[in-house]
Amino acid sequence: MSISSSRSEPRLLVPSLLLIALVVAAVGSLGAPLITSVATTFHVSLASAQWTLTITLLSGAIANPVLGRLGAGSHRRGTILATLAVVVAGSVLTVAPFPFAWLLVGRGAQGVGLGLTALMMGVARDHLPEDRGAATIALVSVASTIGIGVGYPLAGLLTELGGVRAAYGLGVFVTAVAFLAAWRSMPVPPVGRSARVDVPGALLLAGGLFLVLLLASETSLWNRHLGLAVALAALALLLFCVWAAVERRAKSPLVDVRLVRYRAVAGAYVAMLVGGVGMYLLLTLITRYAQTPRRAGYGFGLTTFVAGLVLVPFSLLGFVAAKLTPRLRERIGAPLLLAGSAIVVLAGFVLFAVARSNLAELLVSMAILGFGVGSFSAAMPAVILAVTPKSETSSAMSFNQVVRSVGFSFGSAVGGLVLAARTDTGHLFPTDGAYTTAALIGIAAMAVSAMTSIALARQHASKTEPTTTPWGTRPEGQGGSSQ
């Protein structure tokens, strides 16, 4: 029996889209709170255990544009199901009694699922009315970020109760549920579309992203082998330049880089990259500060589970922001909303920099961060999709996810570098002032993101006779959200 799009009712489709986005984000986040437990369980160094997070980000960054291109064609449903099957298989490997290398293979397979977020947005745009589709895309974007706040405390609790294998067992359960939800609800895309994967472009992008994430995760390279780190950074830049040239000439590019000619798209990517650095930096600083034992002269010595609960305000306020975003976007426009969101995150940095002597202040900082991240994530798709045809939704948003992943990786790396640089010889923990220094860097990053977004807002305001749609304000003659 053939499966048609009529099989999927909105009441079943929307919850499935949100569930899948939430699950892949939560599973992807399982690496961060479990690094220490992985090191002790598998008897490996902390640097090696860190790769349980890095390899997930890497495979997700590579899979995003490939899945985005496949999702633009007629086999989107099959692509979604096959990807979720890979994620389920990877989740099984993480709990199997195999050596550490197999755990990394499993985490890499789980990371492939991070590329599904853009496909969920494409489904929503194709199969839901514009108003509901726009709201659903915003929620999917938020769920893909706020899901971190769901995965952290659950992983911490399960680790304390049953060890690291129990925590990874959560991934097996939720990914299996997500697969069943997709099997029952995912419609086939509109007829007449085709998608071919640009293999040379995929390989070039994979090489560049690997080097970027390697440099972001292996902070010791910058401390001990600066010349090598600079050389690798130059090689990564060269690969990206060659990749962009190849994509411009390809008949079926992995990512339509021509979209960057729209200032809205280019500006949105810049705001996402720099903003991602700041947002993940603050998330890292707060959670690490909360877990630092009091003997360091600061911190609260929280366990992994309790430290994970610190992220609950992050998730709650993120979803609140996502609910408020559609109304705010209608009133002030998506670019200005991006700027306001960046300023909110900046305010969270300021509070953390000047007031972190008690746990309540950390919770407030985390809540502010969650609200800013939620509204930022919900507003971003509207800026990009305002000048993007429906057929290119998955591709455009998948590249945005790549940019976000790179930004998050650099945010984590910046935090690690600053704290390591301010750790005195013979001490395990950095000085309290190191957190203030890192916060100042975050303030600068969010200021750049806010100014970029304000520039986008001014550009929109200068356009004559703008057309307003649920996807954002689109100048006449640009894009094709109504296509």
Residue 149 scores a pLDDT above 80? no
Is residue 218 scored above 50 in pLDDT? yes
Which residues, in sequence order, are CB contacts of 20 under 8 Å at separation 6+? 80, 84, 116, 120, 178, 181, 182
pLDDT band at 333 (very low <50, low <70, confident <90, very high): confident
pLDDT of residue 366: 94
Residue 129, CA distances (Å) to 9, 181, 333, 372, 424 in order:
12, 21, 20, 27, 58
Distances (CA, A) of 112 to 84, 90, 115, 142, 185: 9, 9, 6, 19, 21
Rounded to an integer, what distance in angstroms lies between the CA atom of residue 267 and that of residue 19? 30
Q: What is the pLDDT of residue 59?
A: 86
For residue 402, the model assigns a pLDDT of 81
User: How far is it, in rounded angstroms, from Cα 412 to Cα 156?
Assistant: 19
Q: pLDDT digit string (tens) for 466-477?
A: 444 443 444 433
In Å, what is the CA distance from 449 to each residue of 184, 284, 347? 40, 19, 13
Q: What is the mean pLDDT of residues 178-203?
A: 81
- Give the DSSP H/E element, type plus range, for residue 316: helix 312-332
Cβ atoms of 378 and 321 within 8 Å: the answer is: yes
Angstrom CA distances, 246 to 105, 125, 175, 394, 398, stand at 30, 29, 35, 20, 18
- Quick one: DSSP state of residue 103? H
Average pLDDT, the chain: 82
Q: With residue 474 as reference, give the H or E element that holds it.
A: strand 472-474
Average of pLDDT values for 353-370? Answer: 94
d(CA 454, CA 200): 36
Q: Which of 205, 242, 246, 244 is nearest to 67 (CA)?
A: 205
Q: Give the separation between CA 265 and CA 55, rounded to whole angstroms.
A: 28
Query: Residue 388's closest CA among 127, 121, 139?
Result: 121
Is the Cβ–Cβ distance between 442 and 278 less than 8 Å?
yes
Least confident among 6-15, 371-380, 408-417: 6-15
Amino acid identity for residue 4 in this structure:
S
Reference 298, options 467, 202, 161, 427; nearest CA is 427
Please report the pLDDT score of residue 83 as a whole number. Answer: 94
